[in-house]
Amino acid sequence: MGPRILLFGGIQEVGRHVLAHLVDQGVSNDILVLDFKHPETAHLSSRHRKLLDLVRFEQMDLGDEGKVRRAFDRTDGQGWDFVINACTEMEYALTDGQYRRRITRVAELTAREARARGCRAFIHLSYGMGFRYDASMGLSKEEDLREPRPSFIRGPSVVDAEKAVRIPGLPVVILRYAELYGTDITFGIACNIPFFRICSYLGDPLNTFSHPLSKMNTVQVHDIARATWHVCQWKSRCVFGEGKVYTGGGRQAITGPDEMDVDLFHLADESDTRLGDTFITCGNACHATPNHPTKWVRACMLSALRIKSIREAVNTRYHGVWTQMLREAGVDHSPFIPYIYSEQVIRFALGMDGTRITRETGFVYEYPRFTQMAMNDILKDWIDRRLLP
């Protein structure tokens, strides 16, 4: 039978990989997946579609308190062993209220109900990019990232979501991941793909707004999924299945229902990746060249008036080119949109130290660095699925 697992956001881009890992490892045949999204509009791969036949799935408004409460109900009267919140919102240009409902509100409701019903562990997945980072931090530790990233609309929602799940008596693990990559992912490093494809099509270089030496630590989405199940076992001091994941002495149990029991871990591989590295790797896969302007030119480009005019000109030009590329490639609909939002031209550096989870829990990253082969595989997967020209 295995443990009873409740997975929120299980068909979103990170959540579907968590689901795949749980199913592939055969950890349980009692998994309930809930999501805002519907499978028909989520651009699921054929593999991920088949996974939904092996679990129970319900589409619902996860920002509705009554619906979240009912999601915890079971006909057998048992509780859930593990509650995983992989729900987030990665679209740009939404309102603060929309981000709060889809990120903070979901975290608050799911954690509160998990505390009321009881569970072995509550796992919350969080996005490191939502936090303010300064180059002086170097590789930031978990306690260094506290404030929302300026000019990043969803930042406050991400930060407040981490605060919302810190409930006395609830055994919580927060996994805060760095800039992610992997197949079936459209945000993170992959958001650069349509721009490089267009520049390759036009024979133009891709001009960037960022300093090429700025830190941009990465993590493969499969390692996020593996870490999620790993900390479920570590936090609960239980090992499920044939292969033992955790070999340490276990966590310290909480002393009472009013005690805080929260562990926070960064998920970031060991590579000291820089923004310039990600652009070069993505450019090589797309057969396009990134161009990093000088410091003076970048300063001029990032002035408010120039940003607006550059964005308008590029978005207007790229829209027509992208439409033509989709038509020529026979792509009916693509999840990628080559549109530059104002949030995307702010400084997006992010340095994160992801070693605490390895030291304290015994977790081992299977993907220690972002490679050209990984980027090539990502691009090939989207093209083979006829979702990218």
**Short-list 140, 168, 100, CA closest to 266:** 140
**What is the pLDDT at residue 83?**
98
Do 107 and 166 contact (CB within 8 A), yes or no?
A: no
User: In a 3-state reduction of DSSP, which class is residue 150?
Assistant: coil
pTM of the full predicted structure? 0.93
**What is the pLDDT at residue 243?**
44
Domain parsing of the chain, residue ranges: 5-185+218-271+350-368
| Residue 317: Cβ within 10 Å count | 13
Q: What pLDDT digit, counting tens, does each position of 258-279 carry?
A: 788 999 999 999 988 999 999 9
**What is the pLDDT at residue 253?**
46
Note down pLDDT in tens along the chain; length 389 residues: 689 999 999 999 999 999 999 999 999 999 999 999 999 999 999 999 999 999 999 999 999 999 999 999 999 989 999 999 999 998 888 999 999 999 999 999 999 999 999 999 999 999 999 999 999 999 999 999 999 998 889 999 999 999 999 999 999 999 999 999 999 999 999 999 999 999 999 999 988 877 888 899 999 999 999 999 999 999 998 766 544 433 334 444 444 667 889 999 999 999 889 999 999 999 999 999 998 765 555 555 555 556 777 788 889 999 999 999 999 999 999 999 999 888 877 667 999 999 999 999 999 999 999 999 999 999 999 999 999 99
**What is the pLDDT at residue 241?**
58
**What is the pLDDT at residue 252?**
45
Report the half-sphere exposure of 282 (CA within 13 A, side-chain side). Answer: 26
**What is the pLDDT at residue 334?**
95
CATH number of 5-185+218-271+350-368: 3.40.50.720
* Mean pLDDT for all residues in the chain: 90
Residues 6 or more apart whose CB falls under 8 angstroms from that of 307 comprise 301, 342, 345
First to last CA, the chain: 44
Measured between alpha carbons, how far is 151 from 247 in angstroms, rounded to an integer? 42
Report the half-sphere exposure of 340 (CA within 13 A, side-chain side). Answer: 20
Residue with the two structure tokens 């304290």: 360
Residues 6 or more apart whose CB falls under 8 angstroms from that of 180 comprise 14, 187, 188, 189, 218, 219, 220, 221, 224
